[in-house]
A and B are shown apart, each in its own frame.
Chain A
Amino acid sequence: MNPSFQIHKNDWFAFLHKSSEEYNVYLPVRFNNHIEYEILQDEPENIALNIARPVTPLKTFLLPVKENVVINTSIHNKNIIIGVPSCDLHALDLLDKIYLDQKFIDDSYRINRENTILIGTDCLEIHENCHCISYNINPFPEINHDLSLVAVNGEIIISVNSGKGKKLFDELKSSFPVKEAEKMQIDKIQEKRKEIIIQLKKNNKSLPDYQKTGDLIQKSEDEIWERYARTCVSCGACTTICPTCTCFLLIDRPDFEKVRQVDACQFPGFEKIAAGEDPLKRKYVRFRNRYLCKYVWRPGQFSSIACTGCGRCIDSCIGNISKNEIFIEMAGDDG
C-alpha cells in the first residue's frame, strides 16, 4: 500500500459536495440487489463502498454508447468516479492501448480519460461471479487509478497514486482535517484483503488460469461451442457489459460527420463482406469468437489481458450461459 491517510467519513462527504461544484461526482450506490454509480446530489443514501461491484463497467464513462467523433458535440464533463473495482482498472490497460495508440489517438477518449479522476476501491465483499484472482488480478486497486480509498469503522483511508490524484488530495488536505492512517486501520484492511483472496480462490478453485484458458480454447472441438451456444440469442449483453469489449461501427452523417456507435461481434453481419460472405455466419462461431478474442487474440496483439474476471457477462446472459462453466468443463480433472 502507498502511504495512507485517514479522514472522517463526514468530512470526506463534505469535501465531495464541495467538489461537485466543479466535477460530476459518481458514487457506488446499492439498489435492491445490485450496485450502480449514482451522481452525488443532496444526502446520498445506500452508498456501497468496498463492495463488488457496479453493474456498469468503467468503459461507459470513457466511450459513450453513441458519439459524434468528427465535430465532437459531447460535453466532456470533469468526472470523479469513486469506487472503481480493481478489475475495471485493469481493463484500462487494453483500452488505453487501443484508443491512445500514438499513431491514431482517439481524441474523445483522450479528453474523457484526462478529465476523469479515478478513485479505486477495495472489494471487501465480493460478488458470486467474481474471479479476478484466477487471472492474477488482486481485489484491491493495483494500477491505473489516481486515488484509492477504503471505508473502515467510519473512517476513510485514502492513498495517492498519481499526479492527478495528488492534486485532488491536496485540495482535500487544505480544507479538511487529514491525518496519517492509524496502523490499526491499515492492519484491518490488510487482514481483510487476505481473507477476500482466500475466498476468491476457494470460489474459483476449478477455474483454469488465463494462459491455460487460451490454450484450451484453441484446442477445443466445435461440439462444446455448439452445445453452449444453444441458448445464446446473440443479444450482445455480454459485450455491452464487458469492461474490455469496445468494438464499434462508424455511422455517416451529413457534413462528413461520423458517429462512433457500440457494436459487437455477437451481432449477425458484424464481419459480413460484399457479396454476402460472412466468416461469422454461424451462431456458435460468433459465440466462440468472443472467447478467442479475449483469451488468444487480444493478448497476442496488445500483451494485455482482455478478461479481468469481473463476472458481469455471467450475470447478464439471458441464455444463462456461464463462460466459467465452459472453461471448467474444458479443463476437466486437471483444471
Chain B
Amino acid sequence: MSETKNNIYKPIKAKVDKVIQESPAIKSFVLIPEHEFSFKTGEFIELTLNGYGEAPFTPSSSPLEKKKIEVTVMKAGYVTDKIHALRPGNIVGIRGPFGRGYPLEKFYGKEVVILGGGCGFAPIRSLLYNLMAEKDNFKKVTLCYGAKTPEDCIYKPFVDELRKVDKFEIYRSVDKADETWEEKEGVVTVLLDDIKVDIPNSVAVVCGPPVMMKFGTFKLLEMGYPEEDIYLSMEKNMSCGLGKCGHCMLGKYFVCKDGPVFTYAEIKNEPGIWL
C-alpha cells in the first residue's frame, strides 16, 4: 500500500533546464518540476539526487514563478559535488516546500536592510524578487553583499538590474580586492557603516555563513536594532525537513519546521546558534 500522492518522503521529479556557473564554487540550476510548484520566499526544498543523497536548499528564484524553480548551490561536500555534475536534461527529485520563510507582511511600510554573504545570496535573491514585485509596500531596500574575492561575487547580471530599480540601494564588498574591483574592500559588515537607514522604521535580514551571521547580528545590535527586528536564516544539518528526524534541532526548535527564518529574539538563548 501507500505509494500515495501524499507520501511525505517521496520527491516529485524535476528536469534540469539550465546550469549557470555563478562563481568558481557556485552554480545555479533552473529546474522544471513535473507539476507546478509554489513556495514562499525563505522556505526551502530538499533536492534529491537519485540514489546518492539529499540536501536542503532555499530556492533563489522568484516565488511568483510557478513553472520553474532555481537553486544556487555551493560545492561543499558529497551531495553538492554530485549536484555540480548535473547537466541539462538530468532528472532530480524535490520535496517541499518546507519551513517558515520571511514574514513579508511584517516588513510592510518599513525599510528593509539585507546583509548577505557568499552563497547566502540565494534566499536573499528570492526575497529581493518578492520585494521588487511589491515595491509599493516598502520604503526602501538596502542590500549589503559580501564575498571573498570579486570572482566569488554571484548573480552579476541580477545585481546590475537591481541597481536600476528605484528604492533599491546596493552595496558590495570583497575580503580581498583586485585591480578590477571598484567597490568596497573588507568584511561585509563594514558596509553597514556606509548605509543610511532609519533604524526604528526598519528590519534587518541576515543570511550567510555562520561567522558572518554572528558578526552581522552583533553589528546590527550595536547599531541599535531591536532583537526582534533582526531576521536570521539558520543553517543546520537536515534530513527529513518535516520535524521528525531530529537532525536540525536548535534548542527546542526544529529549524526545518519552525525556521529556517527566526528573529534573533527567538533563538538568542538556544545553544550553538553560531555553531
Q: Do A and B bind each other?
A: yes
Interface residue ranges, A against B (CB under 8 Å):
69-72, 76, 98-99, 101, 104-108, 111, 246-250, 252-256, 258, 260, 263, 265, 270-275, 277-280, 292-293, 296-297, 300-301
Task: Identify which of B52, B210, B247, B271 contacts A247 (C-beta below 8 A).
Answer: B247
In the complex, the answer to whether A252 meets B52 with C-beta atoms within 8 Å is yes
In Å, the complex CA distance between A248 and B245 comes to 5
Minimal beta-carbon separation of A194 from chain B (angstroms): 37
Q: Within the assembled complex, what's the spacing in Å between the Cα atoms of A201 and B1?
A: 47
Stretch at the interface among B125-133, B162-170, B235-243: B235-243
Segment of B8-16, B140-148, B171-179, B216-224 engaged in the interface with chain A: B8-16
B4 at the interface (CB under 8 A from A): yes
Contact A279 B271 (CB under 8 A): yes
Are B8 and A105 within 8 A (Cβ)? yes
Residues of the B chain whose Cβ atoms lie less than 8 Å from the Cβ of A253: 51
Cα separation A104 to B76 with both chains bound (whole Å): 29
Nearest CB in chain A: distance from B201 CB, A: 33
B101 smallest CB distance to A (angstroms)? 16
A108 to B240, CA, bound (A): 15
Q: Which of B246-263 contact A (CB under 8 A)?
A: 246-247, 249, 251-254
Closest to A76 in B: B1
Chain B 44-76 per-residue mask, 1 if CB under 8 angstroms from chain A, else 0: 000011111110000000000000000000101
Bound CA span A293–B272, Å: 14
Q: What is the CA–CA distance of A68 and B91 in the complex, to the nearest angstrom?
A: 21
Would you call A297 and B251 a contact (CB within 8 A)?
A: yes
Chain B residues within CB distance 8 Å of chain A: 1-4, 6-11, 13, 48-54, 74, 76-77, 80, 93, 209-210, 235-237, 239-240, 242-247, 249, 251-254, 271-272, 275
Chain A residues lying within 8 Å of B237, measured Cβ to Cβ, are 270-273
What are 8 A-B pairs with beta-carbon distances under 8 A?
A70-B7, A104-B8, A249-B245, A256-B48, A258-B9, A274-B80, A277-B275, A301-B254
- Could you say which of A106, A263, A277 contacts B8, with CB atoms under 8 Å apart? A106
Tell whether, in the assembled complex, residue A256 and residue B239 are in contact, meaning their CB atoms are under 8 Å apart: no
How far apart are the CA atoms of A263 and B74 in the complex, in Å? 27
Complex alpha-carbon distance, A99 and B251, angstroms: 20
Further contacts, 16 of them, CB under 8 A, given A250-B245, A277-B210: A70-B3, A71-B3, A72-B1, A72-B2, A76-B1, A101-B244, A108-B2, A250-B239, A252-B51, A252-B54, A254-B50, A270-B247, A274-B77, A275-B209, A278-B275, A301-B254
The smallest C-beta distance from B267 to any residue of chain A, in angstroms, reads: 13
Residue of A nearest to B77 (CB): A274
Given the interface contacts A76-B1, A104-B8, does A247 sit within 8 Å of B245 by beta carbon? yes
Bound: A270/B239 CA distance, A: 10
| Interface contact A273-B236, CB-CB below 8 Å | yes
Give bound CA distance, A300 to B269, whole Å. 14
Cβ of B123 to closest chain A Cβ, rounded Å = 15
The CA-CA distance from A270 to B9 in the complex, in Å, is 20
Are the CB atoms of B50 and A252 closer together than 8 Å? yes
| Contact of B7 with A69 in the complex, beta carbons under 8 Å | yes
A101: nearest chain-B partner, CB-CB: B243
Q: Min CB distance, B242 to chain A, in Å?
A: 4
Instruction: Please give, as numbers and ranges, the residues of chain B lying within 8 Å of A111 by CB-CB distance.
Output: 1-2
Contact A271 B236 (CB under 8 A): yes
Min CB gap B9→A, angstroms = 4
Q: Is the CB of A271 within 8 A of B243?
A: no
Which chain A residue lies CB-closest to B91? A256
> Which residues on A sit within 8 Å (CB–CB) of B209?
275
Asked whether B252 lies within 8 Å of A297 as measured between CB atoms, the reply is yes
A108 and B9 CA atoms in complex are apart in Å by: 11
Q: Assuming the A-B contacts A107-B7, A273-B236, A273-B237, are A252 and B48 also in contact, with contact meaning beta carbons closer than 8 angstroms in the complex?
A: yes
Q: Is the CB of B13 within 8 A of A256?
A: yes
Whether B243 pairs with A104 at a CB distance below 8 angstroms is yes
B10–chain A nearest beta-carbon distance, Å: 5
Which among B7, B77, B235, B244 is the interface contact of A99 at CB below 8 angstroms?
Answer: B244
The distance in angstroms between the C-alpha atoms of A248 and B235, with both chains bound, is 19
Cβ contacts under 8 Å, A263 to chain B = 239, 245-247
For A107, the chain B residues whose CB sits under 8 A away are 2, 4, 6-8
Smallest CB–CB gap between A19 and chain B, Å? 23
List, in ascending order, chain A residues with CB within 8 A of B52's CB.
252
- Nearest 7 CB-CB pairings of A with B: A247-B246, A274-B76, A279-B272, A300-B252, A297-B252, A254-B51, A104-B242
Q: Closest approach, in angstroms, between the C-beta of A279 and any C-beta of chain B? A: 4
A275 and B51 contacting across the interface, CB-CB below 8 Å: no
| CB of B33 to closest CB in A, whole Å | 13
Asked if A256 meets B245 with Cβ closer than 8 Å, knowing A250-B54, A273-B236, A278-B275, the reply is no
A104 to B252, CA, bound (A): 19
**Who on chain B is nearest to A271 by CB?**
B237
With A107-B7, A260-B9, A297-B249 known as contacts, the answer to whether A248 contacts B244 (CB < 8 A) is: yes
Give the chain A neighbours of B210 by CB distance below 8 A: 277
Question: By the criterion CB–CB under 8 Å, are A70 and B240 in contact?
Answer: no
Report chain A residues within 8 Å CB of B244: 98-99, 101, 104, 106, 246, 248
